[in-house]
Amino acid sequence: MTTGGLLLVHAHPDDETIGTGGTIAHYRRRGVPVTVVTCTLGEEGEVIGPRWAELVSDRADQLGGYRIGELAGALAELGVAQPYFLGGAGHWRDSGMSGTTAAPREAESARHPRAFVHSGPAAVEALAAVLLERRPDVVVCYDPRGGYGHPDHLRAHRITMDAVETAAGNGWDVPKLYWSVVDDGVLQRHIDAMVRDAANLPDGWRLPPPGELACVPSGSVTTVIDIAAVLPAKCAALRAHATQVSVAPSDRAFALSNDIAQPILPEEHYTLVRGRPGPAGPDGRERDLFAGLPGSPGDAVAE
């Protein structure tokens, strides 16, 4: 078993690619061990088009199993050998998103005995055990808002914060912990560019209304990872999540089942919340999640 490296905690298949896919590919190209912990199978997800319509939870309820294959394909594009499901595949179930037109179904899903929102101390213990086994140098999770507020994202944030504390009391104090975020200034610049190029977006896609896409103030971003060199891998991984994600032919935008266009950014953003910041660039931000750690692998080259 390889220890050290980077460990990321995500709620559903596709979250790892949308928010952190470039970072995963960036570090795998440098030979850094990467573990992606996924907490549910995304059983309550909506699907794109009729091809997979019968898989959803209120029909055949086979979407979760299908998404295991999508996740494996996406991770392969990013350089990760296999998925790792918290507690084992299917142990906890997608809780559904509250406050949408599907609220009655989703409220029912949240009452499911395996719903992740009700995972309790068991999920913290399971993740702490992974941390003690893998001993990662860097852990990444969502911010306290869960990015865009999905209940499972909020829960993934909470269990990660608690598991890091539990692991610290049992032999592994994670050197650096980050929240995955999106810089509002960078996002807006790329939305503006997408607006100018709107004629080239796929038919049926619409531009995001103000405030639609989750982001944080630029001043709260401590670390930026340049992923321009691995954007093809990220786009391929996005395409692997075909039930959930469509990618524009330009590879500059993607959309979920709501057909709202989102720019594919050439960098990914983080906020350091545990550990000491390492050397920073002229803008005061780190350019490596491992900055300041002994033997930082950030600039290493994979064999």
Long-range contacts of 106-114 (CB under 8 A, 24+ apart): 106/44, 109/43, 109/44, 109/57, 110/151, 114/90
Instruction: Please check whether the domain covering 6-274 is classified as CATH 3.40.50.300.
Output: no
Is 91 annotated to bind ligand?
Answer: no
CA distance 63 to 57: 7
Q: Are 220 and 15 in contact (CB under 8 A)?
A: no
For the chain, give every domain's residue range. 6-274
* pLDDT tens for the 303 residues of the chain, in order: 668 999 999 999 999 999 999 999 999 999 999 999 999 999 999 999 999 999 999 999 999 999 999 999 999 999 999 999 999 999 999 999 865 333 344 456 677 899 999 999 999 999 999 999 999 999 999 999 999 999 999 999 999 999 999 999 999 999 999 999 999 999 999 999 999 999 999 999 999 999 999 999 999 999 999 999 999 999 999 999 999 999 999 999 999 999 999 999 999 999 999 999 999 999 999 999 999 999 776 544 333
pTM over 0.85: yes
Is 157 annotated to bind ligand?
Answer: no
Q: Are 141 and 16 in contact (CB under 8 A)?
A: no
Which residue has 């002229």 as its token pair?
282
Which one, of 44, 71, 30, lies nearest residue 225 by Cα?
Answer: 30
Residue 38's beta-bridge partner residues? 10, 85
Is 283 annotated to bind ligand?
Answer: no
